[in-house]
Amino acid sequence: MKDIDYYALSGFGKFCYKLKKFFVGIPKGFIGFFVNIFKAIGAFFVWLGKDLKEIGRSFVKGDWKTKISFLSSSVIKPYSS
């Protein structure tokens, strides 16, 4: 509906239009809520994968000091108190 058509409606017609628009929008909002949740979860796993890929790439392409640093931080530190 164009703005001019909306303004041409009576008060009751405007109320009915808003009410109809509200009830039509409920399923869209409900579905959109869950779609956004799944998108956020997917974005988290994409971020985690990119981060792990970067760590792996820096380990593979790094020099011997980088590799020793990765190994010492992952093997020695968890067991030291």
Domain presence at residue 14: yes
Work out the widest C-alpha separation in the chain, in whole angstroms.
79
pLDDT tens, position by position, 7-65: 888 999 999 999 999 999 999 888 999 999 999 999 999 999 999 999 889 888 988 88
10-48 CB burial, b ≥16 within 10 A, e <16? eeeeeeeeeeeeeeeeeeeeeeeeeeeeeeeeeeeeeee
- pTM of full prediction above 0.85: no
Exposure of 74 in the CB half-sphere (CA atoms within 13 A): 9
Domain presence at residue 80: no
Domain presence at residue 7: yes
In the chain, the number of structural domains is 1
One-letter amino acid at 52 equals L
Domain presence at residue 23: yes
The predicted structure's pLDDT at residue 73 = 73
Domain presence at residue 81: no
